[in-house]
Amino acid sequence: MIYIHKSTKYIIIIVILLCSIITACSKNTNIKIISHKIDKANIKKIAEKSPEIIKLKARLKALMNPHLYVYNPIGKPDPFHPFWDIGIVQVKTNSIPKNNKGCTTSLACMDVGQLTLVGVILPKHGKALAMVQDAAGLGYIVHIGTRIGTHNGKVYKILPDRIIVREKIKNLNGRFIYKDTVMLLHPEGEQ
């Protein structure tokens, strides 16, 4: 029995593999390299037949054509119309209650304490005006004599920093007395 060292076995295997590779490569293999003369005409012909180029040309043509959009409002809500339709109610002059049980204006339906004074205009000549605001942020222009409050109140005076509302209230004896409520004008940001 022949004893061969382990590393020698590996060297023999590597030599055999190298010899087989060399003999395989030494055989005459014909590899043809086809070279085309590349010019712009050939590139254009090849590119025009490419399906990707055809798709891109079709998309470009569709994008370049002017697209006319026509809005059809049928079945769509009007964006300039309020969500809730608030109708205007006309009050006949002979239907106004004399005992002030009903409200004729929105200011007459609110208590004076629910309103805040936000502005005063005192012109040299003409009528003094003031602006009051309710809790919802709605503003109302008032002048002397405007009905305001639930107790048949009226704007009595408009001064540069306040307005005075005079209300007719029934006292404990059953007599009507006048109660003056002062609404102060607070500068913005102050409480």
Phi, psi angles (nearest 5°) of residue 54: -65, -45
Give Cα separations from 164 to 60, 161, 168, 173, 175 (angstroms). Answer: 73, 10, 13, 25, 22
pLDDT reported for residue 97: 45
Domains annotated for the chain, with CATH where assigned, are 104-184 (2.30.30.830)
pLDDT reported for residue 3: 65
Q: The whole model's pTM is what?
A: 0.45
User: Mean pLDDT per segment of 10 residues, for the chain of length 191 residues?
Assistant: 70 80 63 55 72 85 79 82 62 47 79 90 89 90 90 90 91 88 76 55
pLDDT reported for residue 25: 63
pLDDT reported for residue 29: 53
Residue corresponding to tokens 């055809």: 54
pLDDT reported for residue 96: 44
Q: Is the CB of residue 158 less than 8 Å from the CB of residue 145? A: no
pLDDT reported for residue 164: 93
- Name the token pair of 140: 């109302």
**DSSP one-letter string for 51-96:** HHHHHHHHHHHHHHS--------TTS--TTS-SS--PPPP--GGGS
- The alpha carbons of the chain give a radius of gyration, in whole angstroms, of 48
Residue 75: CA atoms inside 13 Å, Cβ hemisphere, count? 2
